[in-house]
Amino acid sequence: MTHPFYVYGSYGFAAAMIITVIAWTWIDGRLRRKEMAALEASGIRRRSQRAPKDKAQ
């Protein structure tokens, strides 16, 4: 009777780890968006948003 306990325990542990990674990624994404918004509000811009330099010199 230990086999079902092992199988269900393994599935439960795997599910808990997947939920933890999803939650961690979601929370970290929200924090990074807030950080980016604060930096952009202070005038710091991303390189990808800068106007391209005129290369015809």
Mean pLDDT of 11-26: 98
Residue 50: per-residue pLDDT: 62
Q: How many residues does the chain have?
A: 57
DSSP 8-class letter at 51? P
Q: How many Å apart are CA 37 and CA 21, to the nearest integer?
A: 24
Residue 2 pLDDT > 90, yes or no? no
Residue 43: per-residue pLDDT: 85
**At 35, is the pLDDT very low, low, confident or very high (cuts 50, 70, 90)?**
very high
Which one-letter amino acid corresponds to residue 25? T
Residue 56: per-residue pLDDT: 54
36 closest CA partner among 48, 53, 20: 48
Residue 23: per-residue pLDDT: 98
Residue 49 pLDDT > 60, yes or no? yes
